[in-house]
């Protein structure tokens, strides 16, 4: 038997559909934030193999590094700074095809070329962000935004309601 979240589906939307369906049981009964976010990053890595996948959590007026898969990253990001801080300040997903073109991008790794950051929003408050980096340009598009926002909605429902 193949490990969970190992797919041979090439169509991106279909892969997300399968992934979300397979992952929902993992957040049905567990509501511990660190544990659920850690498994989310592991499952996303298995399913999609991106270069860096992680969460930054709002703590004491900053984004603090949370569970992640990938290289060592910066601990704290200020409101409105970088891609993550912008997603927090604007409470909207940021799709960045070329990180060098994003003013104020924070380079935790020189290998990152494109990025998507999706805010975790519960009851109108941003509680954190999901940050995914690719070592290729223009990896993320509206399909990624659509499905990652659905995933983050499920996470918020499981963790913050």
Count of residues making up the chain: 161
Q: According to the binding rule CB under 6 A, does residue 93 interact with ligand SME?
A: no
Q: What is the distance between the alpha carbons of residues 152 and 150, in angstroms, rounded to a whole number?
A: 5
Q: According to the binding rule CB under 6 A, does residue 16 interact with ligand SME?
A: no
Q: According to the binding rule CB under 6 A, does residue 77 interact with ligand SME?
A: yes
CA 83, 14, 8 angle in degrees (round to 5)?
A: 100
Task: Report the residue from 27, 44, 83, 156 that binds ligand SME according to the rule CB under 6 A.
Answer: 83
Q: Are 101 and 123 in contact (CB under 8 A)?
A: no
Q: According to the binding rule CB under 6 A, does residue 144 interact with ligand SME?
A: no
Give the CA distances from residue 107 to residues 28, 82, 98, 111, in Å, rounded to whole numbers and listed in that order.
35, 9, 12, 9
Comparing CB distances to ligand SME, the nearer of 20 and 106 is: 106
Q: In the β-sheet with 62-69, what is the strand arrangement from edge to edge?
A: 76-78, 62-69, 52-59, 125-134, 114-122, 94-96
Comparing CB distances to ligand SME, the nearer of 18 and 111 is: 111
Which residues neighbour 157 within 8 Å (Cβ) at sequence distance 6 or greater? none
Q: Which stretch binds ligand SME (CB under 6 A): 9-17, 36-44, 105-113, 142-150?
A: 105-113
Q: According to the binding rule CB under 6 A, does residue 113 interact with ligand SME?
A: no
Q: Which stretch binds ligand SME (CB under 6 A): 7-15, 31-39, 70-78, 146-154?
A: 70-78
Q: According to the binding rule CB under 6 A, does residue 116 interact with ligand SME?
A: no
* Site for ligand SME, rule CB under 6 A: 52, 73-74, 77, 82-85, 105-106, 108, 112, 115, 131, 133
């Amino acid at each position: 038997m193949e490990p969970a979240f190992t797919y041979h589906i090439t169509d991106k939307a279909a892969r997300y559909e399968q992934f979300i369906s397979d992952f929902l049981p993992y957040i049905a009964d567990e509501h511990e934030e660190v544990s659920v976010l850690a498994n989310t990053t592991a499952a996303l890595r298995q399913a999609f193999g991106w270069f860096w996948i992680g969460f930054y959590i709002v703590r004491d007026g900053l984004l603090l590094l949370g569970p992640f898969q990938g290289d060592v990253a910066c601990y704290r990001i200020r409101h409105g700074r970088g891609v993550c801080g912008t997603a927090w300040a604007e409470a909207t997903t940021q799709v960045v095809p070329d990180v060098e073109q994003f003013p104020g991008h924070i380079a935790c790794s020189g290998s990152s070329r494109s990025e998507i950051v999706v805010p975790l929003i519960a009851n109108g408050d941003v509680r954190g962000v999901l940050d995914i980096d690719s070592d290729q340009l223009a990896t993320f598009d509206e399909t990624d935004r659509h499905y990652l926002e659905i995933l983050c909605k499920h996470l918020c429902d499981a963790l913050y309601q």
